[in-house]
Amino acid sequence: MSTTGDPVQKAKSAAAASERESVVWPHRHLLALEDLTADEIRLILDTAEAFEDVSTRSVKKVPALRGRVVVNLFFEDSTRTKTSFVLAAQRLSADVVDFSAKSSSLSKGESIRDTVRNIEAMGVDLLIVRHHVAGTPHLIARNVGCCVINAGDGRHEHPTQGLLDIYTMRQVKGRIEGLEVAIVGDVANSRVARSNLHGLLKLGAEVTMVGPTTLVPRAFEKMGARIAHDFDRVIEQFDVINMLRIQRERISSNVFPSLQEYSRLFGLSAQRMKRAKPDVLVMHPGPINRGIEMAASVADGANSAVLRQVTNGLAVRMAVMFLCKQAAEGS
């Protein structure tokens, strides 16, 4: 796709080209990659490509969502995702409001349903929801008329992170089909792992979950992943290695003897990197615990796509908000 011309027009033509191939974006909400078809995922990626160059201009704005209101409803901490949604909405010319759950009437006993219906009554078009309980964005979507986008629900899914990871892999490797992707670490507690898995399998990649038995349960095999507990034995086969943080906030018991032991067996050290393919793409959703899941030299090294992921997150979130809002206005 060309990188010149009006991005909104290009995003509309990406959508129109898909329509001609009978892929229409029908969804008002984006709640999980598990719910999407391969064609729908490709449509988001192509639409994101059309928006990519908005961020490189001196005036970083297109009028696609002018006059629309986006509310960020984050009930859990976030640095990258929240800022990325704010900037993406602003680049589409939407008005953006940040709702801080900690200083809201939820602390006075108001239910989530009442809170979101009151927020919606102020004329909101898109709600971006992060919550520590899996399924909360779905619950909210059933109770409001506006678009709802899941920005991470418990251990369940983080669809825009999955999309930006897949977008980055496609951008660097030129394809997803046939790619060998490793997802390494605290798979059991990771919504990023689940969204990556669903999206990558639909697009034809091979996915291997790597980690200790306590963090990589057999259940992932039923979802279509391969499983490996010895990183060194399998590392050389991967085109992409996506490292995960140990989600200490979701772990209640001891799942490995010590952090040093975990890091020695599953951390991506400079030494371990020597066994990987020379052009392996190293990824991490952030926040990175340097020296635990990944050495600082690897995070900042030539194979790392960590900051590229963050940059791509903007275009992907612009595409998701644009498509969902279009579907809502067309229905």
Q: Which residues bind ligand NCD (CB under 6 A)?
A: 80-81, 152, 158, 161, 191-192, 245, 247, 285-286
Backbone angles phi, psi at 37, to 5 degrees: -90, 165
What's the order of all strands across the beta sheet hosting 206-210? 226-228, 206-210, 180-184, 240-243, 281-283
Nearest partner of 232 among 263, 284, 188, 272, judged by Cα: 272
Nearest partner of 34 among 217, 218, 196, judged by Cα: 196
Q: How far is the CB of 81 from ligand NCD (least distance, A)?
A: 4
CA distances, 131 to each of 63, 112, 140, 195 (Å):
30, 11, 11, 16
Q: How many helices (H) and strands (E) does the chain have?
A: 13, 9
Q: How far is the CB of 245 from ligand NCD (least distance, A)?
A: 4
Cβ proximity of 253 and 224 under 8 Å: no
Q: How far is the CB of 164 from ligand NCD (least distance, A)?
A: 9
Measured from the CB atom, is 8 or 86 closer to ligand NCD? 86
Q: How far is the CB of 292 from ligand NCD (least distance, A)?
A: 12
Measured from the CB atom, is 14 or 187 closer to ligand NCD? 187
Residue 19, token pair as written in the block: 């329509």
Measured from the CB atom, is 68 or 158 closer to ligand NCD? 158
Measured from the CB atom, is 286 or 301 closer to ligand NCD? 286
Tracing tokens 């009151």 back to the chain, one arrives at 118
Comparing every residue's Cβ against ligand NCD, the nearest one is 245
Measured from the CB atom, is 117 or 132 closer to ligand NCD? 132
Q: How far is the CB of 191 from ligand NCD (least distance, A)?
A: 5
